[in-house]
Amino acid sequence: MSTHIGAEHGQIASHVLMPGDPLRARWIAETFLEDPQQYNDVRGMLGYTGTYKGVRISAQGSGMGQPSMAIYAQELFEQYDVQTIIRVGTCGGVSDAVKVRDVVLGVAASTDSAMNRSRFGNVTFAPAADFDLLRIAADVAEERTMPLAAGGLFSSDQFYNPDREIVPNLARYGILGVEMEAAALYTLGAQFGRRALSICTVSDHLLTGEETSALERQESFSDMMELALETIVRLEQKPRTR
């Protein structure tokens, strides 16, 4: 047991999908995993382990925001020996290069959070995705002709940011979407030498005001989950580059 996860060692798989919403973790387990077993309900942050195409995979909620993500990612990496975390979430589109329902692979995550300033002082650390996960996910998406974009995310601490200038400025620098967790996940992946990737479907668009209906969100979520699951299956099959 760790401080925030009530699982015994061995109950959590080497590969974990992390939605922000714990009820999404349940939905992933019930929809995609064979023989799912719930291993956590501490603070309602549900976690399940099952198999997908013969590969053992867990689905664990992260909660919203970097502090919450950092607690769960650290305990998964450090105390349960997790090797791969793929965040599966939503982001707000901030660029003309993406539209709602697109899937965004987060190559790197800029942030307004103070978390890395307290780790690195004067140095601005650049939280980045694992390259193998990134290229496998891009291959799978291309084969499936999924509407895909790959680029920078903005991991914001504020969902309701009163500053209206930030988003257009970030878009000018090629940032594709705003969400709230990727930078912490990438930083912890780097700290523990494990693989991390954030995949987001664009749920709403901050420049155009476009939104997805509940049904559209569900469909694009299913596509994104299959992309994440298939990425893990291929990672298991291919010889490791590290």
d(CA 83, CA 95): 32
Give 210: exposed, middle or buried? Use CB within 10 Å, 0-12, 13-18, 19+.
middle
Alpha helices by DSSP H, 155-213 = 166-172, 182-192
Q: Which of 2, 110, 156, 220 binds ligand HPA (CB under 6 A)?
A: 156
Can you tell me whether residue 10 is helix, strand or coil? Answer: coil
Between 28 and 178, CB nearer to ligand HPA? 178
Shortest spacing between CB 123 and ligand HPA, in angstroms:
26
Q: Is 204 a catalytic residue?
A: yes
Does 91 sit near ligand HPA (CB under 6 A)? yes
Does 90 sit near ligand HPA (CB under 6 A)? yes
Does 173 sit near ligand HPA (CB under 6 A)? no
Shortest spacing between CB 26 and ligand HPA, in angstroms:
20
Shortest spacing between CB 91 and ligand HPA, in angstroms:
5
Binding mask 208-237 for ligand HPA (x = CB under 6 A): ------------------------------
Give 64: exposed, middle or buried? Use CB within 10 Å, 0-12, 13-18, 19+.
middle
Bridge partners of residue 52, in order along the sequence: 55
Cα three-residue angle 30-32-34, rounded to 5 degrees: 75
Identified catalytic residue from 21, 112, 157, 204: 204
Binding mask 5-44 for ligand HPA (x = CB under 6 A): ----------------------------------------
- Interface with ligand HPA (CB under 6 A), residue total 11
Can you tell me whether residue 162 is helix, strand or coil? Answer: coil
Q: Which of 49, 110, 111, 203 binds ligand HPA (CB under 6 A)?
A: 203
d(CA 142, CA 155): 26
Q: Which of 134, 179, 195, 232 binds ligand HPA (CB under 6 A)?
A: 179
Cβ atoms of 40 and 7 closer than 8 Å:
yes
- What number of helices (H) and strands (E) belong to the chain? 7, 9
First to last CA, the chain: 29
Does 204 sit near ligand HPA (CB under 6 A)? yes
Cβ atoms of 113 and 183 closer than 8 Å:
yes
Q: Which of 19, 65, 92, 152 binds ligand HPA (CB under 6 A)?
A: 92
Does 180 sit near ligand HPA (CB under 6 A)? yes
Give the residue numbers marked as catalytic.
Answer: 204
- Using CB under 6 A, list all residues that contact ligand HPA: 90-92, 156, 159, 178-180, 203-204, 206
